[in-house]
Amino acid sequence: MYSKTLYAGWADMDFNSHMANTAYLDKSADVRQKFLAEHGFPIEEFARQRIGPVVRKDELEYFAEVGLQEEITITYQLAGHAPDGSRFLLRHEIFRADGKLAARVTSAGGWLDLNARKLIAPPPELLAAMNLLEHTADFIELPSSLKPPAAGQSPAPPPARQTDPQSERPQDRPNSA
């Protein structure tokens, strides 16, 4: 199973001196981006292809507190996937150094064409990378986000993508899924 060990830093703490809810989401996104970079999709590749991950829903469950400078291990698994890869359900579990489960993050999302601003199926090499993730015990098959062509019509070709990262506008940067 893919995992990374991180630390709960000063900026991750809330008023109650434990890890803040947004810090769990941020650490989970960091682990996702690290996995993608290690499997051929660093942020520069997303920018070049003009696609990006987009999270549509996050669910966060808490089980134990995490304190300042505490070591945490964050796992990354696939909890659901459309066969074409256009939708995904991601699962992260955050464990303290003592092995106790501190939190579970489940995120639903897809892949966004940054030019057309529509959900798309990922390119084959990105789909292959995502398929390397271990499946959760409750893995489900999701429906595609792509609309089937009307009867008698052939599928429309995908929109042409701008591949020059210099032309990227700040609002077109991929989300941290």
Q: Is the pTM of this model over 0.75?
A: yes
Instruction: For residues 154-163, give the mean pLDDT.
Output: 52
Residue 168 falls within a domain, yes or no? no
pLDDT in tens, 118-154: 999 999 999 999 999 999 999 999 999 998 766 665 5
**C-alpha to C-alpha distance for 155 and 143, rounded to whole angstroms:** 18
Is residue 104 situated within a structural domain? Answer: yes
Q: How far apart are CA 22 and CA 16, in angstroms?
A: 14
12: domain CATH number is 3.10.129.10
Count Cβ atoms below 10 Å from residue 127 Cβ, excluding itself: 17
In a domain? residue 9: yes
Residues paired with 155 in a beta bridge: none
* pLDDT at position 162 over 80: no
Q: Tens digit of pLDDT for each residue in 90-118?
A: 999 999 999 999 999 999 999 999 999 99
- 43 within a domain of the structure (yes/no): yes
Q: Is residue 92 part of a domain?
A: yes
177 is a domain residue? no
> What pLDDT is attached to residue 157?
53
Number of domains in the chain: 1
Q: What angle do CA 18, 61, 112 make, to 5 degrees?
A: 105
What local confidence, expressed as pLDDT, does residue 165 receive?
A: 47
On whether residue 175 sits in a domain, the answer given is: no
Give the range of the structural domain holding residue 56, as residue numbers without chain letter. Answer: 2-143
Percent of the chain with pLDDT over 70: 84
Integer Cα distance of 50 and 52 in angstroms: 7
Residue 87 lies in a domain: yes
